[in-house]
């Protein structure tokens, strides 16, 4: 009995110390990363290359990434995903990935620093080892951990997808090379994993899909005097007001969420409906406008969709990356008018789904909205068509204080709009 007691004490001490062994006070990967227009363009090209590869009905012969392409893609990903920063070093012998995850809550701040080494194996690539904080784990011991983590937090198809990639992965001539991918296996597995991960991150598994369908049907029956997105917004929230006149707050909030989803699906992209499991074929509504521009309405709606799915920081970062891509040769240029529309859409969705918002008052305002000024800033005097060279000359980067000051001014001005007062 004495030895059992000692074992239990040792086990409890080990469990209590694990968070401190696996976390650090300092980060390995810098928090501020240099995301340039070139990075954004390279990441876009990598995404297109991969999409073209899996769009084929035949096995993909080869998909490769150079060190520069991988670095650019990871920089963009690190900027877009909050609290996670990743760096890589790619050689002909293998790949070293270094990641820092920030843990911060109620004054507690620690970092999970991870260093993983992948090398060429007998069949595909092998994980040589991973170091998590002060704990080093050999590659073989990681397989059940990876399987459990992927299946639980990404989806039941994700581990099979991981295995398919890793067994076809090798490192050649300072490149990451994937050969003989089965597109027929990858596409449905990617879609299934995306749907499950989306439900986990965004909480769309709790979305009242029948109610969203109801609001989509309501919007499809309306006729409007203008193309302004203000018109369907007014119609949707008039419907919310009518349907929840004597309802408790939680019921009204479900209707508000359904109304926002109906707007982004009907007037943004009907494919959003399929992504969250809305049954049936959904027709596209009219080409709505904001400030007399269809592109600004789409920026607003897509940003609202991203905010509902991934949160404000990620949604806005994706909008910034899109503008950096546009600043390259052949693009329309970096547009602060687009940034205003992005900010308007994500602020709209964030405010209306915040549990602290008085949705009864907000619905009343939107049911009687008479001007776009209620929820979007004037875009006059907002610079547009800025090339990458001009952007670099004026702002240096999206991490510069000069650029951040402009974004802060837009954010503060947005808070003064009638809907948010």
How does pLDDT run across 262-278, given as a tens digit for each residue?
Answer: 999 999 999 888 877 88
How buried is residue 333: exposed, middle or buried, by Cβ count under 10 Å (0-12/13-18/19+)?
A: middle
Q: Among the ranges 15-24, 183-192, 197-206, 243-252, which has the highest mean pLDDT value?
A: 243-252
What's residue 174's pLDDT? 81
The share of the chain scoring above pLDDT 70, in percent, equals 86
Q: Which residues are within 8 A (CB) of 181 and not within 5 positions of it... i.e. 6 or more apart?
A: 53, 54, 59, 60, 63, 164, 165, 168
What's residue 158's pLDDT? 77
Average pLDDT estimate for 181-209: 65
pLDDT digits (tens, 9 = 90+) for 129-183: 888 888 888 888 888 888 877 776 666 677 888 888 888 899 988 889 888 777 6
Report the SS3 class of residue 19: helix
| pTM higher than 0.85 | no
Q: Among the ranges 9-13, 97-101, 192-196, which has the highest mean pLDDT value?
A: 97-101
- Evaluate whether 353 touches 256 at the Cβ level (below 8 Å): yes
pLDDT digits (tens, 9 = 90+) for 69-95: 998 888 888 888 778 889 898 888 899
Q: Which residue has the higher pLDDT, 152 or 306?
A: 306
What's residue 84's pLDDT? 85
Average pLDDT estimate for 213-220: 95
What's residue 193's pLDDT? 60
Average pLDDT estimate for 223-248: 95
List alpha helices for 203-311, DSSP H.
209-220, 230-243, 249-263, 271-275, 294-310
What's residue 14's pLDDT? 41
User: Lowest-confidence range among 216-220, 305-309, 344-348?
Assistant: 305-309
List alpha helices for 67-138, DSSP H.
67-80
Could you give the C-alpha distances from 323 to 56, 320, 385, in angstroms and in order? 29, 5, 10
Q: Which residues are within 8 A (CB) of 156 and not within 5 positions of it... i.e. 6 or more apart?
A: 192, 196
Helices 388-395/37-55 angle, 10° precision: 140
């Amino acid at each position: 009995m004495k030895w059992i007691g000692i074992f239990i004490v040792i086990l409890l001490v080990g469990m209590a110390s694990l968070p401190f062994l696996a976390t650090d006070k300092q980060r390995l990967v810098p928090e501020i990363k240099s995301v340039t227009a070139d990075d954004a363009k390279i990441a876009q090209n990598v995404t297109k290359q991969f999409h073209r590869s899996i769009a084929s009905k035949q096995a993909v012969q080869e998909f490769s990434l150079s060190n520069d392409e991988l670095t650019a893609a990871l920089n963009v990903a690190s900027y877009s995903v909050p609290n996670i920063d990743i760096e890589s070093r790619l050689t002909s012998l293998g790949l070293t990935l270094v990641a820092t995850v920030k843990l911060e809550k109620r004054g507690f701040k620690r970092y999970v620093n991870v260093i993983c080494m992948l090398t060429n194996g007998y069949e595909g690539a092998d994980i040589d080892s991973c170091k998590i904080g002060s704990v080093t784990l050999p590659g073989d011991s990681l397989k059940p951990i990876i399987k459990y983590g992927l299946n639980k937090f990404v989806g039941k198809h994700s581990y099979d997808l991981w295995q398919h990639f890793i067994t076809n992965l090798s490192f050649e001539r300072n490149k990451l090379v994937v050969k003989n991918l089965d597109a027929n296996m990858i596409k449905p597995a990617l879609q299934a994993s995306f749907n499950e991960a989306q439900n986990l991150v965004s909480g769309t598994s709790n979305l009242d899909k029948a109610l969203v369908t109801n609001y989509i049907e309501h919007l499809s029956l309306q006729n409007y005097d203008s193309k302004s997105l203000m018109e369907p917004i007014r119609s949707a929230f008039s419907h919310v007001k009518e349907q929840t006149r004597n309802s408790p707050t939680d019921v009204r909030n479900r209707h508000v969420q359904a109304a926002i989803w109906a707007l982004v699906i009907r007037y943004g992209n009907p494919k959003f409906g399929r992504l969250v499991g809305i049954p049936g074929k959904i027709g596209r509504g009219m080409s709505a406008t904001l400030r007399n521009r269809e592109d600004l309405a789409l920026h607003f709606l897509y940003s609202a969709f991203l905010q509902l799915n991934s949160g404000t920081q990620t949604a806005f970062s994706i909008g910034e990356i899109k503008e950096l891509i546009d600043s390259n040769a052949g693009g329309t240029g970096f547009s602060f008018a687009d940034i205003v529309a992005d900010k308007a859409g994500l602020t709209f969705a964030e405010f209306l789904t915040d549990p602290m918002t008085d949705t009864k008052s907000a619905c009343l305002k939107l049911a009687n909205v008479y001007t776009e000024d209620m929820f979007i800033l004037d875009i006059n005097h907002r610079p547009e068509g800025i090339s990458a060279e001009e952007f670099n000359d004026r702002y240096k980067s999206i991490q510069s204080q000069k650029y951040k000051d402009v974004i802060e001014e837009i954010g503060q001005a947005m808070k003064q709009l009638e809907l948010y007062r």
